[in-house]
Chain A
């Protein structure tokens, strides 16, 4: 109970928001629109899972937004050239993994600080994409949308797959050796090394992992619309980091879990639709999101201070 206090408090906040919505704007819960909203967040959830792992190893990756754009555009171009979906999907994941591996090599291989490395790759990838594509939309063939399924089935598949992935990964983080390595490295890399884990290898793989997930997420986003804008994914990094942190994953590494990240993501994702349902003007949105992040960390801080006394 005590151990998962943080996750429960986010869940409580989320529940409060949802109850509030049920009272003041019950239309929020009509099934089809709600499914659509969840589908829109499914790619973000997948990236958030990866980000949680990265932050648990005491690293950070702010290049996910740019990687997302690059994967989206490349996958879109391949699809437009007539590649079948079964090839485009792995290609996108592989490209993401490759970009992640570059980050991983620099961070784990050269032991450079991840925040700066991924800042540099973020800028480089984004501007490179601008240079090559000049903002032009990529038109996709029809069979890519919903992976060729009907819309309802496609949405269910996307939401179902992302949640199933979350559950599998959350369990794996707990019960599989690899998952525990991630926690071990984040808690104390030197202790992990003495215990026979290779911290640099774990770090490298975590960056490859988030890259691959970003490639996957790009495909999940691609399936929702018949065109790709090269800007898609801009700002994704902050959204995902905020969700993970609000969900109780400690930036100092080794603490937190994917359930919390999931709750954090849902809480932040609720803000915008909730404002629309409650007919609050849009210019309050950023301030409210900032306040939520601060409240979450302040609550965290107050609690640890109390425990320390």
Chain B
């Protein structure tokens, strides 16, 4: 019987405590931001920009996402936000079709929805803050790879996983560009690294030993680039096998300076987060409407809108000359 009393007492104490906290609701506009995965340095750097925008605009920013590779988690988080009555939801979609189910529901509940980084179905959101079209990314990567190898020879790719939607999309555009423009280049292998730097290093080591004629490794997920670079460096092939891909400047600086990694391509991720928040708030305040041609986002100036895509601008190529100017 003692135990039950104990339980009742705890419950009572808990109730009391909760009544105190419940009064502390604030009345700011709430923007919820959903990255593909929370612990990913890429999205952390998006959040830095988003935080800055939230501060400037005086809104509350919620930032939550899956911490594991559980594909349905994004839907559950969006549905939580719907019942939480947030004003805006900004999503980087892991599963294009899957997330759209939840986003349509959010729209129905009167929440403004936009996507950034990776788009959902077009009917499930108002705007897509587009850091670069998949086509642009694919072509940019392939062109840079061709430039580094004089448009000939074998190359291999390291991707995040075999199932991530945007990785597949980029890969398809890379392959299309390859077929169309660079007949003398050959893609010999595509290996997943599960977003693990260590695994990328192992995979790249095996790729190097299996393909002695390899001229370049292209990694299209951010942990993949330093992983591949370390493998090339350890194989003593610095300069002979080029490394390039999509990655963050801070994670790659030392390899770029050592001449292992030639170039990394990326947009300014901080700006992407910043722009997404500004666009979201403008949507909520009805300042941003379908059909607008431009959009002004705080200190970053004016951005072009193409259809329902707010364009961040061209991806940036980081190399030895400019990488030290960036810190993200």
Is there direct touching of A and B in the complex, by C-beta distance under 8 Å? yes
Chain A residues at the B interface, C-beta cutoff of 8 Å: 25, 27-28, 30, 32-34, 36-37, 40, 127, 130, 133-137, 151, 221, 224-227, 229-235, 272-273, 276-277, 279, 281-283
Q: Does B21 contact A (CB under 8 A)?
A: no
Contact A231 B196 (CB under 8 A): yes
A229 with B38: in contact, given A36-B234, A36-B235, A282-B191 (CB under 8 Å)? no
Q: Does B198 contact A (CB under 8 A)?
A: yes
Residues of A within 8 A of B208 (CB): 33
In the complex, A232→B196 CA distance in Å?
6
Contact B192 A40 (CB under 8 A): no
In the complex, A273→B44 CA distance in Å?
33
Q: Mark B159-193, 1 if CB is under 8 A from A, else 0.
A: 00010000000000000000000000000111110
Residues of A within 8 A of B44 (CB): 134-136
Residues of A within 8 A of B67 (CB): 127, 130
Contact B196 A226 (CB under 8 A): no
Main secondary structure, interface of B, reads helix
> Which chain A residue shows the least CB distance to B248?
A137
Contact B39 A273 (CB under 8 A): no
> Which chain B residue shows the least CB distance to A281?
B190
Contact A231 B206 (CB under 8 A): no
Contact A135 B41 (CB under 8 A): yes
A37 with B206: in contact, given A134-B38, A231-B195 (CB under 8 Å)? yes
Q: Does B244 contact A (CB under 8 A)?
A: no
Question: Which range holds the interface residue count of chain B?
Answer: 35 or more
Residues of B within 8 A of A230 (CB): 39
Contact A229 B191 (CB under 8 A): no
Chain B residues at the A interface, C-beta cutoff of 8 Å: 38-41, 44, 67, 162, 188-192, 194-198, 201-203, 205-210, 212, 223, 226-227, 230-231, 234-236, 250-251, 254
A225 with B162: in contact, given A30-B209, A32-B236 (CB under 8 Å)? no
Contact B162 A282 (CB under 8 A): yes
In the complex, A127→B38 CA distance in Å?
11
Residues of B within 8 A of A135 (CB): 38-41, 44
Residues of B within 8 A of A40 (CB): 198, 201-202, 205
In the complex, A32→B203 CA distance in Å?
15
Nearest Cβ on chain A to B45's Cβ, whole angstroms: 10
Residue from A27, A135, A279 having most chain B Cβ neighbours under 10 A: A135
